[in-house]
């Protein structure tokens, strides 16, 4: 299980200071989301690699548009040399297949993950919009993503195992909404612990505020890695 740090702080300087504190965790994945990328752009991705070239970059822009526009955007993300990107599975099979056909011939391409149901949705919120049970719909969307040759999906820890059963064990699940040590849930609704993620075979956990809002982000990351090891033993 890999750890992705969500780099969502309010200035570039704060993000870079945080990374400097954490540069001795070479296995860390760095998640650059909408806030940081819109504000700081491509040079920011280069700054991350300058701090530690072993950091893997996850560009989490959650693309959603018509198939050709999504494939063009995914192609441009791939050209940035990032290691993982996200698109929305509700864009449909045609869009997902068009993206994979566009990226597969590249010499090096990022892992492509499809967002199923956001972890900020409760089942009630979800029903209001989609008139479907959240777990059923997450499995349905994950199956479409699998059939479209995506590398994996984004879901809550509570759907991860079921999605693997409906696809394969190697189909990647990345789970945000992790609160490792009973922190505030913030706007997240389907929240779990590291042990929940481990039991549900999550491949990547995403953690933001519990790390960057803490007085000692380094000690939180150390404790997260210890907790992951504890789950394995």
Catalytic positions = 62
> Using CA atoms, how far apart are residues 8 and 72, in angstroms rounded to an integer?
25
State which of residues 209, 223, 225, 231 lies at the interface with ligand C5P (CB under 6 A): 209
How distant, in Å, are the alpha carbons of 79, 92, 142, 172, 198 from that of 149?
20, 12, 11, 12, 25
In terms of CB distance, is 32 or 71 closer to ligand C5P?
Answer: 32
172-175 and 152-154 beta bridge pairing: parallel
Footprint of ligand C5P on residues 109-138 (CB under 6 A)?
115, 118-119
CB 29 within 8 A of CB 58: yes
For the chain, the distance separating the N- and C-terminal CA atoms, rounded to the nearest angstrom, is 13
> Using CA atoms, how far apart are residues 206 and 187, in angstroms rounded to an integer?
14
160 sits near ligand C5P (criterion: CB under 6 A): no
Shortest gap between Cβ of 173 and ligand C5P (angstroms)? 11
Shortest gap between Cβ of 209 and ligand C5P (angstroms)? 3
State which of residues 15, 188, 200, 202 lies at the interface with ligand C5P (CB under 6 A): 188
State which of residues 95, 103, 112, 207 lies at the interface with ligand C5P (CB under 6 A): 207
SS3 state at 173:
strand
Tokens 């994950």 identify what position?
142
Shortest gap between Cβ of 156 and ligand C5P (angstroms)? 8
Instruction: Give the contacts of 13 (CB within 8 A, at least 6 positions apart).
Output: none
In terms of CB distance, is 119 or 167 closer to ligand C5P?
Answer: 119
In terms of CB distance, is 16 or 117 closer to ligand C5P?
Answer: 117
Interacting residue ranges for ligand C5P, rule: CB under 6 A = 6, 8, 33, 115, 118-119, 154, 176-177, 186, 188, 206-209
């Amino acid at each position: 299980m890999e750890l992705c740090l969500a780099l969502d702080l309010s200035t570039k300087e704060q993000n870079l200071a945080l990374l400097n504190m954490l540069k001795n965790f070479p296995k860390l994945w760095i998640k650059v989301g909408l806030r940081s990328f819109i504000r700081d752009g491509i040079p920011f991705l280069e700054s991350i690699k300058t701090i530690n070239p072993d950091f893997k970059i996850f560009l989490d822009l959650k693309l959603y548009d018509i198939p050709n526009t999504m494939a063009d955007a995914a192609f441009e993300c791939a050209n940035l040399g990032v290691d993982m990107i996200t698109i929305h599975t509700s864009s449909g099979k045609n869009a997902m297949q068009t993206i994979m056909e566009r990226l597969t011939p590249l010499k090096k391409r990022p892992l492509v993950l499809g967002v199923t149901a956001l972890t900020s949705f409760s089942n009630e919120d979800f029903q209001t919009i989609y008139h479907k049970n959240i777990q059923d719909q997450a499995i349905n969307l994950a199956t479409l993503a699998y059939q479209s040759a995506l590398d994996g999906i984004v879901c809550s820890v509570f759907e991860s195992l079921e999605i693997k059963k409906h696809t394969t064990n190697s189909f990647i699940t990345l789970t945000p909404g992790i609160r490792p040590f009973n922190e505030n849930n913030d706007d997240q609704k389907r929240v779990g612990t590291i042990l929940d993620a481990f039991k549900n075979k999550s491949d990547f956990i995403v953690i933001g505020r519990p790390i960057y809002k803490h007085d000692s982000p380094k000690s939180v990351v150390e404790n997260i890695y210890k907790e992951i090891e504890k789950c394995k033993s």
